[in-house]
Copies of this chain bind each other. A is one copy, B any other.
Amino acid sequence: MSTRVLDHHDTRALVRAVGIDTLMDQLTGRLTDTLASYDRERWNIPVREGFAYESPRPGLVEWMPIHDRAGDVTLKIVSYHPCNPSDHALPTILSTVGAYCTRTGRLRGLVDGTFLTALRTGAASAIATRILAHGTASRLGMIGCGAQSVTQIHGVSRVIELDEIAYFDIEPAVMATFPDRVRRLGLGKVQFRPATASEVARTADVLCTATTVGVGAGPVFPDEDLRPWIHVNAVGADFPGKTEVPRSLLDRAFVCPDFLLQAIREGECQVLDASSIGPELHEIVRAPDAFADRRGVPTVFDSTGWALEDHVALEYLFDLAEDMGLGTPIELEWRGLDPRDPYCGVADLPTEATIRTAVDPCASMGKR
């Protein structure tokens, strides 16, 4: 009756053992399969809610629940504190994800969601890029060189062969260290080219934006001399008023949100009429050929971050962990002889042997 915890060390061990390319490819594959068979009746996914504040530091704590009516409940808690890297050497985005058994309500598993979030956001962009980027695309532009940029580039690099990465960050120190982070992805002969945001956008076949631009302070690049087939993965907008892509580009582009209801509240779609917003990602994944003509026109993947992605990533990581014997059980929740007595065990805590919990009614945290 314990909760299986995959902590930071487990995640690292798992990544080392599997390898980052296999990890990205397998998650992209699983996510593609889930999206292609997406059924609104099966999944209950509310738009995320949260608390935003300016004090003690500007930040946001959000909860992203999802109920698989054929399975369990996953709930990700994710926070966003753009001062974290410089102030505390912590990532901007921190997270934990819990898996709840719908047979008993137990917390079956708990995992570091920080790595999971970066990985699944990269995988989602890989999927959109594979379908919407131009057939000859080889030049990637990156605006915003923080943690999300690494998995954006990694994800995209698994679906198109990159010749060049042009990049810009508003912080010179972050820009200076960016090539080192990305070189560790082992992308081969790719050229790194520091540039202005405008130059980065102008030369990009595929442009990823992953910035901490403030509310009302976007866009993060101008709509000037862009390639006619530019594909943008806009992953930074995740709060009302925060946008990264110029309105004029959005107006003429094919815009594909990950999750429409959330995108019109927090994503690039918040400035658009419903009639100018394209289908959701799962719709183009289901019938990619129907969208082949979009490869020649500007396209924007409006990636606000979808709880379904978290759910798929959680199951994937737990499956790997089970195969590798990773994870630590903790006895977080109540256990005792009498489920109707909250004070049970106060006088004499029952031992492992005497507790009547013969069969765990919840499936193991991994394969089911």
Docked-complex contact B181 and A346, CB < 8 angstroms: no
Minimum CB–CB distance for A153 against chain B, Å:
11
Q: In the docked arrangement, what's the CA distance between A90 and B106, Å?
A: 9
Docked-complex contact B334 and A8, CB < 8 angstroms: yes
A33 contacts partner chain B, Cβ-Cβ < 8 Å: no
Q: In the docked arrangement, what's the CA distance between A94 and B105, Å?
A: 6
Partner of A333, one of B92, B95, B174, B341: B95
A84 contacts partner chain B, Cβ-Cβ < 8 Å: yes
Contacts of A112 in B (CB 8 A): 332-334
A214 contacts partner chain B, Cβ-Cβ < 8 Å: no
Q: In this complex, what residue of B is CB-closest to A93?
A: B105
Docked-complex contact B342 and A147, CB < 8 angstroms: yes
Minimum CB–CB distance for A43 against chain B, Å:
11
Q: In the docked arrangement, what's the CA distance between A356 and B87, Å?
A: 11
Minimum CB–CB distance for A36 against chain B, Å:
24
CB-CB contacts below 8 Å: A80-129 with B: 80-81, 84-85, 87-96, 98, 100, 102-107, 110-115, 118-119
Docked-complex contact A341 and B104, CB < 8 angstroms: no
Docked-complex contact A75 and B63, CB < 8 angstroms: yes
Stoichiometry, copies per complex? 2
Q: In the docked arrangement, what's the CA distance between A77 and B106, Å?
A: 10
Minimum CB–CB distance for A305 against chain B, Å:
15
Minimum CB–CB distance for A164 against chain B, Å:
21
Taking A63-B75, A96-B98, A147-B342 as contacts, is the C-beta distance between A91 and B51 under 8 angstroms? no
Contacts of A246 in B (CB 8 A): none
Q: In the docked arrangement, what's the CA distance between A289 and B217, Å?
A: 53
A44 contacts partner chain B, Cβ-Cβ < 8 Å: yes
Docked-complex contact A15 and B340, CB < 8 angstroms: no
Docked-complex contact B77 and A104, CB < 8 angstroms: no
Minimum CB–CB distance for A40 against chain B, Å:
15
Known: A5-B332, A112-B332. 13 other contacts (CB 8 A): A8-B335, A56-B103, A84-B104, A89-B339, A90-B104, A90-B106, A90-B357, A94-B104, A94-B105, A94-B106, A114-B342, A149-B340, A150-B340
Could you give 14 example pairs across A and B, Cβ below 8 Å? A5-B332, A8-B331, A8-B335, A46-B49, A51-B65, A61-B67, A79-B106, A80-B105, A96-B98, A96-B107, A112-B333, A114-B334, A184-B347, A328-B330
Question: Ordered nearest first, which 5 A-B pairs have the shortest CB separation?
Answer: A79-B105, A114-B334, A118-B342, A51-B67, A85-B339
Query: Using a CB–CB distance below 8 Å, which chain A residues touch chain B?
Result: 1, 5, 7-9, 12, 15-16, 20, 44, 46, 49, 51, 53, 55-57, 59-61, 63, 65, 67, 69, 73, 75, 77, 79-81, 84-85, 87-96, 98, 100, 102-107, 110-115, 118-119, 145-147, 149-151, 154, 174, 177, 181, 184-185, 328, 330-336, 338-343, 345-347, 349, 356-357, 361
